[in-house]
Amino acid sequence: MGVSRRTLFNYIKDKESAVLGAEMSEEVENQFQNFAAGLPTGSLREDSKIMGMTVFNRAVGDEFFPEISQLTAQALAKDTKLRALYCQRNSRIIQRVRQAVQAREGWKSSDPRLTPTVNIIHTQFLTAFETFVETRGGTSLVDAFHNAGAIFEDYFNDELA
């Protein structure tokens, strides 16, 4: 049984929210707070991955709902306006990541490590997202994020073949 647009938009404010979910949720907010406090593992890289997965899962579904995730990837691949909305949302999320990294590491906003650290995290997010959309959900965000991280590790360890 379908749901009419009128009914849907009585509960959901716009197309972006209908497809990508609410921008912030209690779960995402809690994860940002945990990340800023150095939790849950104490590893910046591992905690970035956990935070990223929380943000992605809120936006596009996850491995527990692969059909929703694939439909979202297909919608993002087809609809350039929706993809642009996701990118705008992502830029706001990255500002939150910047604040969380700064709090976590105890860095001032002028610390020369802050921008490169946030850029690395952001690039890993973007790489995972682009792979997810290009494969129309055939590669999960979890796998895409992990694969991007492995490539970055190889790069920084000078092990790219």
Distance CA 34, CA 83 (A): 28
Q: What is the pLDDT of residue 90?
A: 86
Q: What pLDDT, in 10s, does the model give residues 18-65?
A: 777 666 778 889 999 999 999 999 999 889 988 888 887 776 666 667
Q: Domain coordinates of the chain in residue numbers?
A: 5-156
CATH, range 5-156 = 1.10.357
| Full-model pTM | 0.81
Question: Which regions in the chain score pLDDT beneath 50?
Answer: 1
Q: What is the pLDDT of residue 101?
A: 97
